Structure 1
């Protein structure tokens, strides 16, 4: 199958603003994704969860159009704007010697946004007090918040966040998800990966459980919990994960 990364727009509101269809990807002889289909609606948070090595980052990079799939189709159906998809990598890094303000101003200039937008975005993520601090002096949590501010410069209709809460203290993790909720409240689509299932359960509209290159559960957190007859998303995850290697299978499937 020949990869297709069409950006044809549509006015149908019921469709996902970003949709992956039958995505496959391999690194050499190693298959990482196998027939993954996932839609991301505007104004909602879609959370991608799964064990380490399940292909989450590869899928996010493909959906952010930073990596071309081996096969499958990616469609963006949103408005034609200067920046349609913003992306936060797992480990954001910025040029040493630049202040937080100058860093964000630089990205604003890249997407044709007004320089004053930089401070607005810093205020939005709670970093305005650190505006004149050099980026290398930021804590891990503050660096991730700067990364979110950078990913949202230009108000892209879709924002992809790869493990934005990883390694942060509980308060900072909650703050990151609160910021993500504010994005969806403004109508943006947020696709986020996270191992914090409690926060995912609390904030995500849709959860997609990925392992061994495929999606094994997709739906609203409450629907998945009900379907598996458990009491929390964590229990649903545990009910779908078997084996010491963390292989995920649909409940009842033979090992």
Structure 2
């Protein structure tokens, strides 16, 4: 169910690392009940923007405002490289987070089932593959049903079928009322799943709207074609603006 009220809103965000500007006047609203996909070249500022939205660092300028309901956990966040304390199983790890949020063990089990890790629930986290660790990170980000879920490259390291599943999870969370933001280079899945797209290039949002609107605005047949037409310079060249993604 889509609600146009922004649950999380960034206004005129700026961020620099020393003298290196990474974000410049970025404004982005995340309405409840929608999936917003953040796309752009490596080095364009995506992770810096995501970390600012998740409250992990203060931007150099601008504001981030949470406008959702008061809950035990307002924002669930999946970093690019999730890590978990060794010596615990996947189930125990999620149960720990659930207990911190006042949720029961049933919520932890439900989150494992949501991401497709139920069969590995009793496997130690250090024995999980990279892809399975990412799935556990997605499950952890959804414990307590936060109104905002932010996923930084959730499909990275997953096989094609699991990448599709991750996007299905994002859509399901939005259907349940969450404002979901994910970054991804899988533009075919973004085109199929996202309600909104924000294309970040050289620290600025240069295109935004529904995938269809972005395509139509540029006369492009696919989102990939629209992306290539929107990115400044060589789309195959890494941007160097103080970060790696």
TM-score norm. by structure 1 comes to 0.90
SS of equivalent to 2:6: coil
Distance in 2 between the 1:105 and 1:30 partners?
41
Equivalent position to 2:77, from 75, 79, 87: 87
Q: How does 1:87-236 map to 2 (within 5 A)?
A: 87-236=77-226
Corresponding pairs, count: 235
Equivalent position to 2:233, from 243, 246, 255: 243
Q: Give deviations 1:26-55, integer Å, cap 9, x for gaps.
A: 111111101000000101000000000100
Equivalent position to 1:29, from 16, 19, 23: 19
Give 1:95 shift.
0.8
Q: Give deviations 1:70-126, integer Å, cap 9, x for gaps.
A: 110111110000101000000101111110011001111122212221111111111
Give 1:242 shift.
3.9
Match of 1:47 in 2: 37
Q: Give deviations 1:174-231, integer Å, cap 9, x for gaps.
A: 1111111110111111000000000000000000000111100000000010010010
Unmatched tracts of structure 2, length 5 or more? 240-245
Which segment drifts farther, 200-209 or 138-147?
138-147
Distance in 1 between the 2:131 and 2:164 partners?
11
TM-score norm. by structure 2 comes to 0.93
SS of equivalent to 1:78: coil
Distance in 2 between the 1:81 and 1:167 partners?
32
Unmatched tracts of structure 1, length 5 or more? 1-12, 248-255
Distance in 2 between the 1:116 and 1:160 partners?
23
Distance in 1 between the 2:154 and 2:173 partners?
14
Give 1:134 shift.
0.5
Give 1:243 shift.
2.3
Is 2:53 the partner of 1:60? no
Match of 1:4 in 2: none
Which segment drifts farther, 166-175 or 74-83?
166-175
